[in-house]
Copies of this chain bind each other. A is one copy, B any other.
Amino acid sequence: MTGSASDIGYLFEPRSVAVIGASHNPAKIGYKILQNIVNGGYRGRIYPVNPRGGEILGQAVVPSVDEIGGELDVVCTCVPSQYVFETVKTCARKAVKFNLVISSGFSEVGNIEGEREITNYATKHGMRILGPNIFGMFSARASLDMTFGPGGIQPGNVAIITQSGALGLAMIGKTAVENIGISAMISVGNKADIAEADLLEYLVDDEQTESILMYIEGIRDGAPLVEMLKRAARKKPVIVIKSGRSKRGASAAASHTGSLAGSDDIFSAIMRQCGVLRAESVKEGFDLCKFLSNTSRPAGPNAVIITNGGGIGVLATDACEKYGVGLLDDAEGLRETFGPVTPDFGSTKNPIDLTGGATSDHYAAALDAALENPAIHTVVALYCETAVFDAENLAPMIQESSRKYQAGEKPIVFSAFGGRSTADALSTLSKQRIPIFDDVYAAVACLGGLYAQHDYAKHPPERSVEIALDFAAIDAVLRGARREGRSFLLAAEGQRLMEIVGIPMPLSRMARNLDDAVAAAEAIGYPVVMKIVSRDILHKSDAGGVALDLEDREEVIDAYQAIMRSCRAAVQGAHITGVEVSEMVKSGVELIVGGRRDPGFGPVVMFGLGGIYVEVMKDVSFRAVPLGRAEVLGMMEEIRAYPLLLGVRGEERKDMNSVVDAILKVATMIRRCEGISDIEINPLVVYEEGAGSRAVDVRVLLASAEGGGPDA
């Protein structure tokens, strides 16, 4: 790809646009787009292109792009798919910067070759393609509606990137109804060239854009997206609606990491890693955008709920717990603040209950008090319709309070529940883009989103960590396996890999005779395990070839002799190589650490509760690679079993560092070693602090020859 940050600006703020396939027929897309451009008030040069010439909507038609004088920043291509390549070539000759290929009939219907042809040609000639199979784009900064939508897009501060055309087009009307103003709306369609990451590059720094909403069905080439999302979410809220959480395909994966990664959890986990808010429904996404675009950063964690009804107060308390909003718990401070403004029989405990007798004046006074108290960082103001309340003052009171909070840079969210007069107030206030909801949960969810985003943004960006590994030695192991036509490593090769990267496995030594065995045990340290090594003895236990928990020299000698005796008796004439003497693995917390190449995100790591029931408990989390130490710790904290690492029931804290180290090493391998497709250590047994951990079993799958291009 050839785009750079400075280039992408021309897409959003072009000096000139052409519509190839501009039509005289108002029923055609090539007319509709031109109409929206003209009606939208675009101030640059507009070139309708059509070999038939003439004039459309008062604009002189040029027969071909070739005949346009001066630079041409953006072109909209609305010709049937079979003519698109021809026009792409013409545009490339003209050095067009961006080509919005509206036309469908490409990879979405299986015409992958046609799409590739266009994209390759464009890329080679320094032209970027948006689409194909899109409805176009809108840019408020350029007053440019280059879509075939209904027109009338309300300018504002929410940017929308959508992979679904139909949904995007319907959003144009829906955002207007919901009073959501748009700074940019981009249809990305098949994403043959330009994808979300490219567009974010512009939107991150665009001052008009206060929040970014993305509708995503699938990710390709996720590494740059992850990097860009991390950057974007530090500057402004990014909300993603991801659909297509199908479980299909997951079961076919070869490793736990693969099978567990098939679920939707990996997407959610990586969005958390990037500080991106995940919305389930479009409604949730819109609510978050509306609220986050118009609300300042909270100065601290303490929220106060102000209500006139106990019931909705309790519901809001529940919602705060669900969405991670902390409630101020300083009884005395609250009494001081709200005592003077709370009616009799009210409560100054959080939720502050102004009682069913409250009027707009009570609310105004309580909201003023909350605004003035610097220990209160955010406010949830709830209203339940009552007969006593002066309904005609509801909207003005909220409007005025909202203005004051905006000025005071203190976040506030309102929820109002009731009949017709309440509905009217909601509608009035919503038109003024005041953050008000008719449902307590919707209101608090937005506040939760605000906190989640700012919690992410307030941490400084972290440098990704890569561990220096002996890649040449790793490669030698992989080459060895590949030479034998294997797509996996044998146990010994896996052990060798762990040794190279320095993830400790249980110590183990071959001993060919009794003296060797004793020496091995002394070197490893007691207790040890001893196992027969013989190509003729498959079932070692059955042949009496295994001895566990040998605690001293004497037991080793006894066990050696017993093993030899039983094995010779069990398998007459067996060729015995010797015994394997191994460290006896003490019990500890069993974890799983995995790495794999995700088809969407590229290299990812997995961490979770290990052991044989990993797929039953599914207590795992994921992160995209590369990642930093804090990100690894964040992933570890996400699993339910995390308290086991901190030490529960009188147990000691576990050796976290050794786990972080193992995860970072797996991350480095999966990112740097193209030959590896999956690594899985299960269990990684971790002991108390300072005692490290042991990779008891490791499984490594190799990338197929054609797959796994360079991710680095």
A residues touching B (Cβ–Cβ < 8 Å)?
Answer: 32, 109, 148-150, 162-170, 172-174, 176-177, 215, 217, 241, 243-247, 280-284, 308-312, 314-315, 317-319, 321, 345, 356, 384-387, 417-423, 438-442, 612-613, 615-619, 640-641, 643-644, 648-649
Instruction: Name A355's closest neighbour in chain B (CB-CB).
Output: B166
Contact B173 A385 (CB under 8 A): yes
List, in ascending order, chain B residues with CB within 8 A of A217's CB: 311, 314
Distance A438 CA – B419 CA, assembled complex (angstroms): 20
Instruction: Name A437's closest neighbour in chain B (CB-CB).
Output: B283
Distance A634 CA – B583 CA, assembled complex (angstroms): 44
Contact B312 A166 (CB under 8 A): yes
Between A281, A312, A442, the greatest number of chain B beta carbons within 10 A of the residue's beta carbon is seen for: A281
Query: When A and B form their complex, which 5 residue pairs have the shortest distance between CB atoms, in order from nearest?
Result: A173-B419, A164-B311, A166-B309, A167-B311, A281-B441
How many copies of the chain does the oligomer comprise?
Answer: 2
Contact B281 A245 (CB under 8 A): no
> Given contacts A280-B441, A314-B243, A321-B247, is CB(A420)–CB(B613) below 8 Å?
no
Distance A166 CA – B314 CA, assembled complex (angstroms): 12
Instruction: Name A345's closest neighbour in chain B (CB-CB).
Output: B109
Contact B311 A438 (CB under 8 A): no
Contact A311 B166 (CB under 8 A): yes
List, in ascending order, chain B residues with CB within 8 A of A176's CB: 419-420
Contact A173 B422 (CB under 8 A): yes
Give the distance to chain B from A186, nearest Cβ to Cβ, in Å: 15
List, in ascending order, chain B residues with CB within 8 A of A281's CB: 315, 319, 439-442
Give the distance to chain B from A360, nearest Cβ to Cβ, in Å: 16
Distance A247 CA – B318 CA, assembled complex (angstroms): 10
Contact A311 B163 (CB under 8 A): yes
Give the distance to chain B from A288, nearest Cβ to Cβ, in Å: 14
Listed by A's residue number, 17 A-B pairs whose Cβ atoms lie within 8 Å are A150-B387, A164-B312, A166-B309, A166-B310, A170-B386, A170-B422, A172-B419, A173-B419, A174-B418, A174-B422, A243-B315, A245-B318, A282-B315, A283-B439, A612-B649, A615-B648, A617-B640
Between A281, A419, A641, A648, the greatest number of chain B beta carbons within 10 A of the residue's beta carbon is seen for: A419
Contact A166 B618 (CB under 8 A): no
Distance A241 CA – B319 CA, assembled complex (angstroms): 13
Contact A386 B169 (CB under 8 A): yes
Contact A243 B318 (CB under 8 A): yes
List, in ascending order, chain B residues with CB within 8 A of A640's CB: 616-618
Select which of B165, B247, B283 is within 8 A of A441 by beta carbon: B283
Give the distance to chain B from A440, nearest Cβ to Cβ, in Å: 6
Give the distance to chain B from A278, nearest Cβ to Cβ, in Å: 12
List, in ascending order, chain B residues with CB within 8 A of A309's CB: 164, 166-167, 170
